[in-house]
Structure 1
Amino acid sequence: MRFNVRKNLHMILLSILVSSLFSVCTFGAIPSPYWKVQQPFITARDSGNNADIIKYGKEIVAIFKDKPMDKNKAEILYTTYEAMYKSYENTADYGNAIEILKAQIPYGEYLGYADGVKLAKERINKINPMTQVYAVTQNTASIPFYGMKNEPKSGTYFGRVYSSGGVATMENETAVSFYFECLQDNLEDFDYMLRPYADGTRLIHIAMNMPGENDSLKLIMQPTSDAYLKETMEYLKSLDAPVLLRIGGEMNVWQNLGDSSLYKQAYIKIANIARQTAPNVALVFSPNDVSNWNVDIADYYPGDNYVDWVGVSLYTNKYRNPQNPLVGKDFEEMYYGNGAYANPLTRLKNIVDRYGSKKPIIITECGIGYGINGKSLDLNSFAKERIQMLYTYANMLYPQVKGIIYFDVDLGSSNKYLYSLSNNKQMMNQYQASVENNESFILQMGVSPKAYVKAGSYQDNLPVIELATYCILPRDVPVTVEYSLDGKKVTSEGKIPYTCNLDASAVSTGIHELKVVIKATNGYNKIKAYTLTKHENNLVNIKEK
């Protein structure tokens, strides 16, 4: 785990300051109808009149629609879209806000506004409600499976980090995680900790840290490291358990920022030795969920042939800087996923979008800060809600997530977030309850659990049709979900995961209408309509209209 403060956002002012461009465009190259709309638009923007911003913004877009691209067009439309997306977002029209941001991006790219483009792309992710209805099924054929080493066909291993204090495992946890410092620690010296877990009942995750960061990578590339690496793999081979080896995690946020070329060379060297020596070891490439501003995760990816699983460190905290726990600027909180945008599922989406179509995903570390060491700040409610979000929805939204490890450790330093579940009964209770309520966690090695599928692809004969809905909006806006069957209300829920259980035996054979209405207090409204068909053999299938 790395605690360095991400730098460089202080220079990202472009998306805020660029509105001044309205005053510098030359008159001669701009269509004359624009000048009739410009002042009403500026007035609306300056007064925060969302309806008029959208109205005049649409007129400006129409004026320039068929005009060839040039600097004037790009500047005017970029700043027009900047105001329009905010107005749509302010009125809870997230769909149109996203479309406006998508329309803005090409003009930012044309103008060379790299920072503004990066922020726009991330905002598309962070404000997307991703509203969807899911159903529990025993039919797991549609769950992504890539045949990677130690990958379950469906379901998610879960567990926590082992600590020197000997954190007791829960009886049904199926994963445990250990750390060691590459070229400093001899794994066999920790056999007394590791061996008790190597009984085939758990997945063992090993995090091979690089204590010297780039200096460690350089040493790995020396022939003198070969014997150490071979001995490490021989030890892992001796463990009677499936092993996941995380090689140099969080390289994209190291204090001495990882040299991408050197990182890949060192990773591949370690990977080759592991492949030759330890058949039970799967290789994990695992960055932090948010990179240093100046690098991209893809810069470090060593290639599909050397990666079995893709991991991610996923820490969701209320404040970006625990030393100074204050509400940040909107664009900062949005980009880094704090405060109003502290949603672990949107933070997780980036890594799943990048690699989830070809590799199983494991959250190699995660934590929710429920306090700050040395400060009298109670974040228990915030943390409980985020633990519930993560452990309820991670593998519901993203069935590629086949593992999740909680960082059940407090490091003891002042001004650091407190994460340890074992030191906080409220957090441990929430963790246990969330795991127990999620039917797709693996509770026993070799036994596939049920899975979640989008309701529109449900086909099963289970006695109870279990439905759940995902809809989490920025700023923790309260949401209510109402389910009805054939026009009759079944239930209305105001807390995640907004469940509805339909007794299949009470549903008559034939075709029915299932409707799910999602409403938020800020005006957001979404209706999901389905056709539910029950057949003579009690098979039920659901299709979205």
Structure 2
Amino acid sequence: MLGQKKWKSVLLLLIAVMVLSITAIPGGNAYAMNVWGIYKEAQQLEAKGKYTEAIAKYKIIAAEFVKTQQYGNASNIYRNIGADYSILGKYDDAVASWDLEALYAGKVGQTQISIAAKRKADALRSSAQLFVETEAAKLGNTNYHQAIFEPKNGALIGAYAELDPKVHNAKTSNPFYTEGFPQLTGKKHAAYLLYFTYGNPLSSLKSHIEEARANGTALQLGIQPIKGLNQVQDDAYLHQFAQEIADAGIPIFVRFANEMNGDWVPWNGNPKLYIEKFRLVANVIHKTAPDSAAMVWAPGQIPEYNIEDYYPGDAYVDWVGVSLYTIFNPTLDPLKKGEDRSSHLDKFDLIYKLYADRKPVFISEGGVSYMYPEKLQDKTAWSSYQLKQFYMTLPMVYPKVKGVFYFDSNHDASNRVKYYMLSANAKLLEAYKQSIASPFYLSTVGDESPIAYRKISGATVEASTQKVSAYVKSWTPILSKVTYEIGGKVVAATTQLPWKASINFAVYKGKSITVVVKAYDSNGKLATTQKVPVTVK
């Protein structure tokens, strides 16, 4: 038997040997030498440009980390795998890897890493949704909330236009935007946005109200309590203001203290007080002008985390709006190629999911900038595509949307010009004209759309010739062509958003089929292939 001191010496020696034979992967715990060896081999393969071989090595390590529940290290390895796949141009595989990075980072509470990984994945994620055009009457009240001024189907088009000198002369009122903007865009608009300082009399907008009445348009008042929420009281001013709205003789959307979730407005920061004041205004407006005004609650699209904190409640809100802007931003491009791969349309998703089943939802103001302001780079092709995709696809993906207001201005707040003005960019103007030409977009409060859309992805389609459209998203920000294949044969091809084509489904009656959607980038190269299951009735 070894003595106690000798035994301790042997034990310490064994521990020392074990320590020397163990190392750690950055950001994680210690692992056996063979795991570290595989990791180093993967890095060496990357250095030689052998990314496929490196991925194979990384996958061995990742599987081991998941097996042993070392999720932090698993997340790190999947980040590397995704990066290597992106270098190889295998973007679907990169997306799958970054999804796993997000998953395992979340398991160990690495929230910011998880969010960043999800953002990378979403930027490159490819998808396709198919829709068929149908008669709106067939949908009945499916998309209807029975709210004031709400069409059963279709979206009112509106704009903020008084700062566009081509359509409005503030000094002479010739032209006035109610006439000038339709002339510019080729279509009458149902409503116009005006900003209004709380505490002023509505009579200060007399000319705007008269022009709106004469032209059969509504107004959206962006009411701003500049002096803070405590300025809003149950007093003579509020009741007089409500009476002026009732007497105006036009439909008025009362958008009180919008973008309250953002720290750039003085009414941000106290959700309880905000809700109290919104409810006060809503109660007075609803009592005094029940047939003349809709109370609009409209946060900004960002930040998202606190939007619901400010919701006043269904009894006080008639419509839910959102400020929705996109300015070219390449800083989040996971491929580091100076592209903005986000979708302006997708930014509407959260508001829609939260409130569209309860209230009519709309874009109360928004646009896509045609310049990258930080670099003063022209991004007209990108913005025109984003704008067309947004307006043309919105009725399909978000059928309960009931209005869209375009921000027609080159706004210079905060010393950062934001370039949205249609009259200043002929291509963007043409994109807008094409976008709003659809009969889904309504020119007058009280109009109804004759058409609607029904999603057929993973659902059924009638066995006849159908007008098919699609929302196709891919890693490339601009697509140039989409083809539809069934049974290995191309049945339709189109080069124009929203990828509309006529397909005869009669020959597939009673069958479950797969529609293969192929999308091509701006250079005509295949960007993604998506398989969409459809059952033909």
Q: TM-score, normalised by structure 2?
A: 0.78
Q: How does 1:282-321 map to 2 (within 5 A)?
A: 282-291=294-303, 296-319=306-329
Question: Per-residue CA shift, 1:254-306, capped at 9, x if unaligned?
Answer: 425711323233222222222222213222221222228xx532232233333
Residue 186 to residue 340, structure 1, CA distance change in 2 (3 Å)? same
Cα distance, 1:151 vs. partner? 2.4
User: Where in structure 2 are there 5+ consecutive unaligned residues?
Assistant: 1-22, 169-175
Distance 1:273 1:23 in 2: 61
Q: How does 1:329-340 map to 2 (within 5 A)?
A: 330=333, 339-340=339-340
Give the match's secondary structure for 2:405. strand
Counterpart for residue 244 of structure 1: 253
Residue 358 to residue 470, structure 1, CA distance change in 2 (3 Å)? same
CA contact 1:481–1:519 (8 Å) conserved in 2: yes
Counterpart for residue 173 of structure 1: 188
Counterpart for residue 139 of structure 2: 140
Give the match's secondary structure for 2:25. helix
Query: Are 1:229 and 2:238 an aligned pair?
Result: yes
Distance 2:116 2:508 in 1: 51
Letter in 2 for 1:355: Y
Cα distance, 1:315 vs. partner? 1.5
Give the one of 194, 200, 203 matched to 1:188.
Answer: 203
Give the match's secondary structure for 1:289. coil
Counterpart for residue 57 of structure 2: 56
Give the one of 512, 526, 543 matched to 2:530.
Answer: 526
Give the match's secondary structure for 1:253. coil
Distance 2:45 2:141 in 1: 49
Give the match's secondary structure for 1:307. coil
Letter in 1 for 2:52: A
Query: Are 1:490 and 2:491 an aligned pair?
Result: yes
Letter in 2 for 1:173: K
Distance 1:332 1:519 in 2: 20
Q: How does 1:451-470 map to 2 (within 5 A)?
A: 451-456=452-457, 457=459, 465-470=466-471
Cα distance, 1:500 vs. partner? 0.9
Query: Are 1:83 and 2:80 an aligned pair?
Result: yes
Residue 47 to residue 273, structure 1, CA distance change in 2 (3 Å)? farther
Residue 23 to residue 256, structure 1, CA distance change in 2 (3 Å)? same
Counterpart for residue 322 of structure 1: none
Residue 412 to residue 101, structure 1, CA distance change in 2 (3 Å)? closer
Distance 1:93 1:494 in 2: 25
Cα distance, 1:388 vs. partner? 1.2
Cα distance, 1:451 vs. partner? 0.9
Distance 1:93 1:145 in 2: 43
Counterpart for residue 156 of structure 1: 155
Counterpart for residue 16 of structure 1: none
Query: Are 1:210 and 2:230 an aligned pair?
Result: no
CA contact 1:45–1:83 (8 Å) conserved in 2: no
CA contact 1:50–1:88 (8 Å) conserved in 2: yes
Residue 174 to residue 91, structure 1, CA distance change in 2 (3 Å)? farther
Letter in 1 for 2:327: N
Question: Per-residue CA shift, 1:365-416, capped at 9, x if unaligned?
Answer: 1122234899975333333222212211122211122110001123467641
Give the match's secondary structure for 1:291. coil
Distance 1:333 1:314 in 2: 25
Residue 345 to residue 239, structure 1, CA distance change in 2 (3 Å)? same
Deviates more, 1:47-56 or 1:242-251: 47-56
Letter in 1 for 2:145: Y
Cα distance, 1:79 vs. partner? 1.0
Letter in 2 for 1:74: Y
CA contact 1:314–1:363 (8 Å) conserved in 2: yes
Distance 1:148 1:447 in 2: 14
CA contact 1:125–1:346 (8 Å) conserved in 2: no
Distance 2:441 2:424 in 1: 24
Q: What is the number of equivalent residue pairs in this alignment?
A: 486
Query: Are 1:356 and 2:356 an aligned pair?
Result: yes
CA contact 1:345–1:394 (8 Å) conserved in 2: yes
Question: Per-residue CA shift, 1:285-332, capped at 9, x if unaligned?
Answer: 21222228xx5322322333332322111122224xxxxxxx535369
Distance 1:473 1:288 in 2: 26
CA contact 1:93–1:524 (8 Å) conserved in 2: no
Counterpart for residue 264 of structure 1: 275
Counterpart for residue 26 of structure 2: 23
Letter in 1 for 2:346: T
Task: State the superposition RMSD in angstroms.
Answer: 3.7
CA contact 1:179–1:209 (8 Å) conserved in 2: no
CA contact 1:317–1:339 (8 Å) conserved in 2: no
Q: How does 1:345-494 map to 2 (within 5 A)?
A: 345-371=345-371, 377-411=377-411, 415-436=416-437, 438-444=438-444, 445-456=446-457, 457=459, 465-476=466-477, 478=479, 480-484=481-485, 488-494=489-495
Give the match's secondary structure for 2:441. coil
Distance 1:435 1:74 in 2: 49
User: Where in structure 1 are there 5+ consecutive unaligned residues?
Assistant: 1-19, 320-326, 533-540
Residue 198 to residue 34, structure 1, CA distance change in 2 (3 Å)? farther
Letter in 1 for 2:343: N
Question: Per-residue CA shift, 1:430-483, capped at 9, x if unaligned?
Answer: 2112211x3422245333320122134565699x62111221324425453223
Cα distance, 1:341 vs. partner? 2.2
Residue 491 to residue 421, structure 1, CA distance change in 2 (3 Å)? same
Deviates more, 1:59-68 or 1:427-436: 59-68
Give the match's secondary structure for 2:403. strand
Give the match's secondary structure for 2:228. helix
Residue 478 to residue 200, structure 1, CA distance change in 2 (3 Å)? closer
Give the match's secondary structure for 1:146. coil
Residue 22 to residue 346, structure 1, CA distance change in 2 (3 Å)? farther
Give the match's secondary structure for 1:77. helix
Cα distance, 1:201 vs. partner? 4.5
Question: By percentage of residues, which structure has more strand?
Answer: 2
Residue 36 to residue 518, structure 1, CA distance change in 2 (3 Å)? same
Letter in 1 for 2:352: V
CA contact 1:200–1:242 (8 Å) conserved in 2: no
Letter in 1 for 2:529: N
Distance 2:106 2:118 in 1: 12
Cα distance, 1:156 vs. partner? 1.0
Flag the structure with larger Rg: 2
Residue 366 to residue 474, structure 1, CA distance change in 2 (3 Å)? farther
Give the match's secondary structure for 1:302. coil
